[in-house]
Amino acid sequence: MIMEKLGISLDQWVSVQEEDYDSIVWKDDPKCTKKEWEDAKIDLAQEYDANQYQRDREPDYPNLAEQFDLLWHAIDADTLDKTSDFYTTLKAVKDAHPKG
């Protein structure tokens, strides 16, 4: 993940252990500094924490087949608005797990 965030491709390094900068075996010269690596690691941790609501919502959403069925029924009944089961079902999950 850190390599990806820094834009370092797979062909630029040989191995890394537990995302530890000091364990990276580069194919050529290092493609980032230890500070850049640590900053990217902090950024990724902050992004992960900021998106906790997404991980909390996921198990509560109906599966996609059920969501499409709710959507189809709302369209078929000409009720594709905030009163439809499609909307209210998804809104309840979002309300239960709001963004930070």
3-state secondary structure of 3: helix
5-23 pLDDT, tens digit per residue, is 999 998 998 988 888 999 9
User: What is the model's pTM?
Assistant: 0.68
Please report the pLDDT score of residue 62 as a whole number: 98
45-68 average pLDDT score? 97
Distance CA 23, CA 86 (A): 49
Q: Is the pLDDT of residue 100 over 80?
A: no
Q: How far is CA 27 from CA 2, 73, 89, 92, in A?
A: 17, 56, 51, 51
